[in-house]
Each structure stands twice: as C-alpha cells, then as structure tokens.
Structure 1
Amino acid sequence: MTNPLEPSQPATAWDPQTLLVAGGRPAHGVDAAVNHPVTFTSTFHSQGIAAPGEKVYARFSNPTWDPFEEVLGQLEEAQLPALVFSSGMAAIAAALQLVPAGGVLVMPSHSYNGSLSLSKELADAGRLSVRPVDIANTEEVDAALEGADVLWVESPTNPMLEVADLPVLLAAAKQHNALSIVDNTFATPLLQRPLTLGADVVVHSVTKYLSGHSDVILGAVATSDETLHSRIHGYRTLHGAIASPMDVFLALRGVRTLSVRLERSQSNAQVLAERLSQHPAVSGVRYPGLPGDPGHARAQKLMNGFGSVIAFEAGDSEAAADAVIEKFGLITGATSLGGVETLAERRARHASEPATVPTNLIRLSVGIEAVEDLWRDLSNALDQI
C-alpha cells in the first residue's frame, strides 16, 4: 500500500528551474512511478450524463496530456492548465479564431510566416482585416490599436529579432479593449511570462524550445481566462487538433531539461553573435544580446536573457548566404529552431517570408554543442565566400 507524501512546498513556490523538473509528477509513495505512463486509448468507460471533468472520449482529453498542460500552465503563471495542440500552427489557428468575424487584427510585419500566411488567408476570405505594424515601434502599435479587436505580439520577432515593449503594448491593448495574444516561442517562459504582464493568451510552438529535440510537432495555448480557455478547448475538440499521447510524453521529457539547454545555447549564442559581428563576410548581425542591437536595452530590461537565435547577413547576396550554409559540416541547414543541435536557414528562401527580410539573412538557431566547434564551422564557411 502506498503512502503518498505531500511536497514540502507547493509548486507555486518553486523556482521555474525546479518546476521544470518536479512539476507534473505522480504523488510520492512506495513503489510509485516517477513518471506518468503514456495512455493509449481512444475512449473511456462512461455511461449516462457525463460529470464535469469526466474524460469520456480521447478527443476531449487524455491523461498523458494532463502533466504537460499542468507544467506549462504553471510555468506561464496561468491560473488554468495550458492546452496542448497537434502543432504550433494548430495552436495559432485556435488563437486567431478569437478575432471576431469581421474584426481587426494588429500583427507584427515580421512574424512567423505561418502566422502571417494564415492571417492573410483569413483576411482574403473576409473573415478579418489585418493591420501590420513594426512591433518595436510602440507609438505605431498604439495608433493601430484604435478600433482593433486583437493585438498579436511576437517578441523577439521571427526572424528579425525585434523586441517589443511588452508591458506598455499589453496595457495599450487593454485601454483599447483589444484582446492580446503573445507568441512566446522564442523567449520561452524562462525569459518572459506575458500573462503576468497583462496578456490574455500565450501561444507556443512546443516543437521548438519546450520539447527541444527536433522530434515532435506540437503546439500549446495558455490563458488564465476561463471563458477564453473554454473557447480554445472547444475549438481543439471540434476541429480535432489533438496531440498524440506519445508526442506529449516526449515533450514533457524535453521540458525537464529546458533550463540547462537554454543556459548553454544562450551562452553559445552570445559568443557567436559577438564574433559574427566582427567577421568581414558578415554585413549585419541581429541579436538582442549585442550592446549595439536596437532591442538590447529593452530586452535587458524586460527579459531574463537574450535567447538563442541569431540573424545575420552573409555576403551581399542570397547566393552567398546559400553558399555559406552549403559549406557547413557541423551546423545543419534546415528549418525550425530550439533543438539541441544548431540549425541554419536562409529565411527568404520561403516565398511567404516578408519582402523586408533581407535575401541574404541567415537565421541561426544555436544549439548546445561546444562553442569553439560551432565557431570553427561558421568561420570556415564564411571565409570561403
């Protein structure tokens, strides 16, 4: 017979680094499992009128989702568990449906191109209208919020790494009676927690830093608002954007090491950004950790770190940038980011990328390899263009 033990302090009192490791665990007890099992089932025993919280059917919920949703909700300091989705795009789609029919969406000109493409598709269908803004220009955003319904924020932005004055923008959204949604994928809850600053909803591509190993496709949404939570859960249920239990199990396992992974990758990114800014074949570097970066002071004030993504312009053409990536031996030329391995991509190779993204811009997602090996690979490739 087990004898469950209560933790010495509630999870809300834990440091986020501890919560990553200890949150969402089964109760302590003799012979108790340290990890929750993976539950593979499509349905649950159920008869009559379902009681509140009864699982009933696996499109509504799954026991394997629960610990991941609990941990992410706690990390974002939400008052409710997060909601896991089948992909980051599924989470983005669920959040965008919060824009009322015919409503106005204020969105950064530089954002994840999946978000931009979906918002354009919705605009072309007459579902909403989009007001693009420079999210780093607080006055421009405030002006665009007049009569708007939803403010969408990325900070730092993908791929230009602009940093928004998040507390001011979220307060402005409230003043304009606009809902605020923050894509927190780049920063993660370790570097900023938008809900504590006034955001209504936070979105994540769990595929990236949270899972951290480039082996699952998942998304998530977090909110403290019960009405919004219910609407987003309803969207997930009716649209079938549900996650595989095995993928969520792997994501929770990945979350356990987020703190140490991010610490190492950020440290590497800082070194590489400083060296790239001095290389003669590099015409520009964007990284908030550089004192000369336009977002440096704001990131230093508002964030707990500068992140692990660098954007740099290689040579003077897209051909030069492509040549750099082709010459990498250690660094992998691939899309995505946030994994333990370093990935590089010329973002403008995607037709959906904004025209204002330089054609020779390489987005470098820095991993946890030895930094000198990474620099050797980078400098060798750059020296040859």
Structure 2
Amino acid sequence: MAFSDRSGHTAGDAGSVESWLISAGRDRRPGSPLNVQPCPASNFVLGDHRAYARDDGTPGWEALEEITGGLEGGASVAFASGMAGIAAIFDQLPTGSVVALPDDCYQGVAALAQAGQGRGRWTVCRVGVADTAGWIEMCAVADLIWIESPSNPLLAVADLVSICAAPRKPGAILGVDNTFATPLNQRPLSLGADMSVQSVTKFIGGHSDLLGGVVTVRDPNHFAALRHARELLGATPGTLEMFLAVRGARTLAVRLERAQNNAMTLAQRLARHSGVTLTRYPGLPSHPTHEIARSQLKGFGTIISFDVRGNAADAEAVCAGLQLIQHATSLGAVESTLERRAGIPGQEHLPPTLLRLSVGIEAVEDLWADLDRALRDGTAV
C-alpha cells in the first residue's frame, strides 16, 4: 500500500515528522482552503467516489488518516474513539480465540476482554508487560497478542523488538496500544506489529476537547476489515472532532517536546521528595524497564505515576490541594492533570496511594511549586 498526501508526497518526502505534521492532509490545489475545513455532510452528490459518509468517510477523516498513517508507517482508519477502534480489532476474532492481554493495561480494554470472555467469545490470558518470555510463548498460541507499552498506569515498557520478532500462530494479530508513546517516540509497525492504536483523544488532539481514535495497519486485508467494521458498527468519527484532531496534530511535536522535558524534571524531583515513596517514569535509571525504554523509545513520554506517603485519604488530599494542575482524568493534553487511579472502577487492584500525572506544557517551576505544596500539605511531611 502507498501512503502519501493528496499531492503524492510521503512522510519521508517531508524530511522529518515535524514537517509532516504541518504539511500532511492539506488540499494543495490552487484556490483550496489552507486548512482542512469541517465537512458537516452525511451524504454527497452521486457520481464520484463518495456517496455516504458512514461508508466513504469525509475529507476531515481522510486528513487525519493521512497524517497518522504517515507517522506510523501504514494506512490508518479513524474511529469515534480509541475504544471504538480497539473494539473493531477484537471484533475480527473468531469465536474460541485466545487473547493475550497485559496484566497492566487500560481498564476499558480489560473490561472489553473480560466481557467477551464472559460471553464465550474468547479466552483471556494475562501476561506481565515486561515478561518477554511469556509474550513469546503466547505468540505461538494466541489469536490476538495485545500489548500496551508503556503501560497504563504502571509505565512498564515491553520488549517489542523481541516480541514482534517471535514466530506467531498463523493468522494471529499483534496489536500495540501506542497512545502513551505516540508515533513520534515509537513506531510499532516498523518493529513488526500488525496494528498500532492511538487514542486521538489524548496526544494527537492534545487539548481535552474531543473523542477519537485511529488504528494504523500494514496489511491491506486488515485495512479493509477495519473499514468494514467501522461501517457496520457505526463507529464513525464526528465532523467537529476530526477538525479539532487535525488542528491539534499540527502541534504534536512541539507539545510533546516541551511536556517530555517537564516530565523528566518533575520525575527526578518526585523521586527525591519526602512525601513520595515510589516514582515510576521510564526515563529514570531506577525504573525496572529503563534500559529497554532507552533502546526502544525516542523519548520517555509525559506520564509519571508515583505513590505518596500515607494512605488513600492522603493521596486524595494531594489531588484536592492542587491549584495549577487539574484534578481530572485522561492525559496527553496541554494542561497537566493528576488523579488517584485506584479510585477508578476496574482499577481497585492498583496501589491505593498511586497518582497518575500527565505532564503538560506549563512552566515547569510552576508545576513543581504546585506539586511540592500539595504533597507537603496532603501528606504532612
């Protein structure tokens, strides 16, 4: 399959991913709008390639798919949410399949997998994110090998190079949730994965103002199957959401660079704070999978999870004491957010004092002052 923009340019022609983010997805014909316009249309005048939006898409969908396809090195299919895209992948599995799922992953995916197992659709086997031998073993027997790396929220990094190189059961799908890394830090398809998923809600959109998802694949048959699933399930993205996603994607590189720099500074300081008992960030040498992260990722990301001293009430007090950082869920946006993950349904197995911090692009000293004050007040250190 060829992955290019409407003028025939490819991601490689742009010279860098930063330039691709700015240039891709635009209509370069003379007289065309410089930006991709919202297209609030459900149907189109017959006689061309587009008739009905649910089947044929809109220019907004196609622009986002062009951008992410070039970044990931494949062909993208946009969905109404990240979970809609993941559900479409799971929908490809025949009854009686085996699903290999990380022991640490997004609770929505875990709930989807468990629900399907409860209906007899498949059997779920949980594997430690860093258990490379366990993943290689599952590659020989599983119909879907689902990897989340770095994982949510414990930030374990899987050895994707070794896992993707392992022999797989014929017809098996190896999918990677690449949301935390983004295509700028990690390209699973180039390592040998079949599918890479982005929750566009997070880093691609980057402004906490949309829901969206995208699945990028290498195999034309997978591409056709996902397009068909989107049509039949009606998991189509909205017009405004795609406009916002394309606009947000233009600044992904500069946002990610700033937020990653902030995250490294904050992680180093949190690791030394008297109110914190454990800091998890792949960029810290103390992180259990730091060496894999260093060899496999171009950047360590913007997410930090850390355990505060005390109990769940102390952790909640830290969240309540924030003034600049938002006490909110989700991640990957311009603003920093913090939440206690064990308080989320389906996440009760996590350490009760674990806080997940999504670092934004605010001034790092302001972020640190807010964190330090909330930690000192909330944990009485």
What band does the TM-score fall into relative to the shorter chain? over 0.9
Equivalent residues of 1:99, 1:105 under 8 A apart:
no
In structure 2, the residue matched to 1:17 is 18
State the number of aligned residues: 371
Counting only pairs closer than 5 Å after superposition, residues 94-243 of structure 1 correspond to structure 2 as 94-172=88-166, 174=168, 178-243=172-237
Letter in 1 for 2:307: E
In structure 1, what is the Cα distance between the partners aligned to 2:169 and 2:88? Answer: 24
In structure 2, what is the Cα distance between the partners aligned to 1:147 and 1:251? Answer: 37
CA displacement at 1:176 relative to structure 2: 6.8
In structure 2, what is the Cα distance between the partners aligned to 1:262 and 1:38? Answer: 26
In structure 2, the residue matched to 1:39 is 39
What SS class does the counterpart of residue 174 from structure 1 fall into? coil
Residue 319 (structure 1) aligned with residue 313 (structure 2): yes
In structure 2, what is the Cα distance between the partners aligned to 1:202 and 1:274? Answer: 30
In structure 1, what is the Cα distance between the partners aligned to 2:233 and 2:167? Answer: 28
Change over 3 Å in CA distance of 1:112–1:223 after alignment to 2 = same
In structure 2, what is the Cα distance between the partners aligned to 1:63 and 1:144? Answer: 40
What SS class does the counterpart of residue 362 from structure 1 fall into? strand
In structure 2, what is the Cα distance between the partners aligned to 1:293 and 1:287? Answer: 6
Gapped runs of 5+ residues in structure 1? 1-5
- Identity across aligned pairs (percent)? 43
In structure 1, the residue matched to 2:52 is 57
What SS class does the counterpart of residue 304 from structure 1 fall into? coil
In structure 1, the residue matched to 2:3 is none
In structure 2, what is the Cα distance between the partners aligned to 1:109 and 1:55? Answer: 43
Dislocated runs of 4+, deviation >2 Å: 6-14, 143-146, 173-178
Equivalent residues of 1:151, 1:173 under 8 A apart:
no
CA displacement at 1:175 relative to structure 2: 6.4
CA displacement at 1:335 relative to structure 2: 0.7
In structure 2, the residue matched to 1:3 is none
Equivalent residues of 1:147, 1:176 under 8 A apart:
no
In structure 1, what is the Cα distance between the partners aligned to 2:344 and 2:152? Answer: 13
Residues 127-157 of structure 1, C-alpha deviations (whole Å, 9 max, x = no match): 1111000021101222233421110011000
Change over 3 Å in CA distance of 1:318–1:148 after alignment to 2 = same
In structure 2, what is the Cα distance between the partners aligned to 1:319 and 1:136? Answer: 31
What SS class does the counterpart of residue 84 from structure 1 fall into? strand
Counting only pairs closer than 5 Å after superposition, residues 335-346 of structure 1 correspond to structure 2 as 335-346=329-340
In structure 2, the residue matched to 1:290 is 284
Deviates more, 1:64-73 or 1:253-262: 64-73
Change over 3 Å in CA distance of 1:296–1:255 after alignment to 2 = same
RMSD (CA atoms): 1.6
Letter in 2 for 1:12: G
Letter in 2 for 1:35: N
In structure 2, what is the Cα distance between the partners aligned to 1:8 and 1:92? Answer: 30
In structure 1, what is the Cα distance between the partners aligned to 2:32 and 2:227? Answer: 31
CA displacement at 1:266 relative to structure 2: 0.2
Gapped runs of 5+ residues in structure 2? 1-5
What SS class does the counterpart of residue 13 from structure 1 fall into? coil
In structure 1, the residue matched to 2:84 is 90
Among candidates 354, 364, 381, match of residue 361 of structure 1: 354
What SS class does the counterpart of residue 142 from structure 1 fall into? helix
In structure 2, what is the Cα distance between the partners aligned to 1:383 and 1:120? Answer: 40
CA displacement at 1:9 relative to structure 2: 6.6
Equivalent residues of 2:336, 2:360 under 8 A apart:
yes
Change over 3 Å in CA distance of 1:205–1:173 after alignment to 2 = farther
What SS class does the counterpart of residue 356 from structure 2 fall into? strand
What SS class does the counterpart of residue 166 from structure 2 fall into? helix
In structure 1, what is the Cα distance between the partners aligned to 2:26 and 2:54? Answer: 23
In structure 2, what is the Cα distance between the partners aligned to 1:25 and 1:218? Answer: 20
Residues 68-101 of structure 1, C-alpha deviations (whole Å, 9 max, x = no match): 11111011011x3x11111111111011112221
In structure 2, what is the Cα distance between the partners aligned to 1:180 and 1:144? Answer: 11
